Amino acid sequence: MNITKIITKYTNSSQSNNNNATLEQNNAAQVIQKHTRIYLKKKGILSNNLLSKYKTLCIARPKELFKYMPRATTGATKVFLPKDFPKVIFKQSGKASGEIRLRIMQKVRDILTRQKSSCLIIPKAIRFGDFLVEDRLPINTDSFHNMALYISHTKLFDDAVREMTKLFSENYLTDLITYCSRQHLGHILGVGNSVRYDNLPLFIVESHGIKKGAIGLIDLEHLSERQDNTTLKTLVRIFPYHLNIIKQEADSLKMIYDNKELEEVATQGRKYLQLGYTDFLNWLQIKGISNNPKNWKFEINRNREKEFRDLIELELIKLNQGINDLYKRDSNYHAGSQISKYYLKEDIVHSARELSYKITPAILNDIVNVINESLISKIEKYSRKIVSIPDEATIVALRSLSIMRAKFFWSAGEILDETDLINHEKCSGFIEKNRIAEQLFHIIFEKLVDYREIFYYDPGYNSRSITFQSNWIRF
């Protein structure tokens, strides 16, 4: 059923018409409407001629429609992006939380009006039942998209960052930086956290031919009135190239900060943008990666197979002595881990060599197949959004894959489980064999990075739960 039919079905048919209205009545109505529009604009209340349709949908909540409606991929709240109403989003926040959100939005809007801010955009909104209907901002919450925007249009964001500093001198947002261990971008050495662009998306607006950087304040739920020493650090972490502007603004607002701390955070912020985005983009350009994802295929230079075999042979001999570096790398494995020893059958070197002949090609094949499978499925997902040639940020996003680690050494684990080159009583259990296989895969992968066949590999060991551990592979 199409959306118009659904709305008609749910709309009360007994709406009055105003055929009998006199000319004066119409004029009076126009004046009232004009004033109402001005009032609503000031109050940030969404108002347009589709309002009654939104209301019908939000109150009736037809399952058949919401079930198939496109949704935002970020954030905990369900946010619907109806195709038929491209100017708004439906945020299913619930009644109470919706009211709180509206109140905070109004509070911040009042501050911004007083501060004469023009680059920080709070969408106009209205609540119908469980839903907030909000202006849809022209944003993309993908991290790489926002990093690219900031790196390549830094100056355009001068005013927006000044305004953010001013806003933060009164109220600041506490959920813009995260230490969530599942965020691979947060694992960059020496940085250790990532930016929640899904709560602070950047975009560029153009008016009368002049461009300026804007920031969408779409999630104000975590607003704090208290100043603490993270207030300015948060801003510097997100906008490190604006360190001086933030400090100037903070000085004029008499905000207190520790200069050294801010410098350190700015270094982290710059590193995040450099390693998380710029270095990888440069690497892709040097490699001559085409901008047509349909031509992409991950391959490994097979001339190195003998070298990899030798590495695996040596590592197997080391593992046989009960030395598995995996246990050093991953704190999850420490507690109560029983490490097997001396399981290779005599002659040990011969067994290790024979095993390396089987395991090395299996791991290399798994790596190539798993990466290509994951790449194809990511490209397919994106291809719905990519209209023509993907931009640089999209290429960076497409070639940064998060893949469940176990997939890479599945075959190696099976070979270890079935081989008669090891004494299974001394190396019991599939888990232990998997850990051996994981270490073997790891040393090959590190070499692929050394040989620049892969740009970066984060084993994701910081993640608390082993089940969720996945490799971050950028190639």
Ligand X SMILES: Nc1ncnc2c1ncn2[C@@H]1O[C@H](COP(=O)(O)OP(=O)(O)OP(=O)(O)O)[C@@H](O)[C@H]1O
Residue ranges in contact with ligand X by CB under 6 A: 72, 74-77, 79, 89, 91, 123, 134-137, 139, 141, 175, 198-199, 218-219, 221
Nearer to ligand X, 104 or 412 (CB): 104
Q: From the list ligand X, Mg ion, none, which binds 139 (C-beta under 5 to 8 Å, kind-based)?
A: ligand X
221 binds, among ligand X, Mg ion, none (CB under 5 to 8 A by kind): ligand X
Which of 75/129 has CB closer to Mg ion? 75
- The residue with its CB nearest to ligand X is 75
Is the CB of 134 or the CB of 458 nearer to ligand X? 134
In angstroms, what is the minimal distance from the CB of 78 to ligand X? 8
List, edge to edge, every strand of the sheet that includes 88-92.
78-80, 88-92, 131-135, 125-128
Q: How far is Cα 282 from Cα 458, in angstroms, rounded to an integer?
A: 19
Nearest approach, Cβ of residue 245 and ligand X (Å): 26
Q: What's the sign of the alpha-carbon dihedral 222, 224, 228, 234? A: positive
Interacting partner of 323 out of Mg ion, ligand X, none (Cβ under 5 to 8 A depending on kind): none
Q: How far is the CB of 162 from ligand X (least distance, A)?
A: 23
Residue 219 contacts Mg ion per CB under 5 A:
yes
* Residue 75 in the binding site for Mg ion (CB under 5 A): yes
Distance CA 158, CA 218 (A): 20
Alpha-helix residue ranges (DSSP H) falling in 67-142: 95-114
Q: What's the chain's length in residues? A: 475
DSSP annotation of 150 reads H
Least distance (Å) between residue 93 CB and Mg ion: 11
Q: Which residues of 37-54 are buried (b: 16+ CB within 10 A; e: fewer)?
A: eeeeeeebbbeeeeeebb
For residue 315, state whether it binds Mg ion (rule: CB under 5 A).
no
Whether the Cβ atoms of residue 140 and residue 81 lie closer than 8 Å to each other? no
Q: Which does 186 bind (CB under 5 to 8 A by kind): ligand X, Mg ion, none?
A: none
CB 354, min distance to Mg ion, A: 54
Considering the complex, what minimum distance in angstroms separates the CB of residue 375 from ligand X? 24
- Report the C-alpha gap between 370 and 409 in whole angstroms: 10
Site size for Mg ion (CB under 5 A):
3
Which residue in 62, 66, 63, 36 sits closest to 49, CA to CA? 36
Q: Residue from 117, 146, 194, 199 that binds Mg ion (CB under 5 A)?
A: 199
219 vs 432, which CB is nearer to Mg ion? Answer: 219
Q: How far apart are alpha carbons 471 and 402 in whole angstroms?
A: 6
Nearest CA among 64, 20, 276, 38 for reference residue 150:
276
Tokens representing residue 59 in the block: 């109150």
Strand pairing class (120-121; 210-216): parallel
Does position 134 bind Mg ion by CB under 5 A?
no
Stretch that binds Mg ion, among 32-40, 47-55, 75-83, 156-164 (CB under 5 A): 75-83
CB 126 to ligand X: min, Å = 12
* Alpha carbons 86 and 75: distance in angstroms, whole number: 20
- Site for Mg ion, rule CB under 5 A: 75, 199, 219
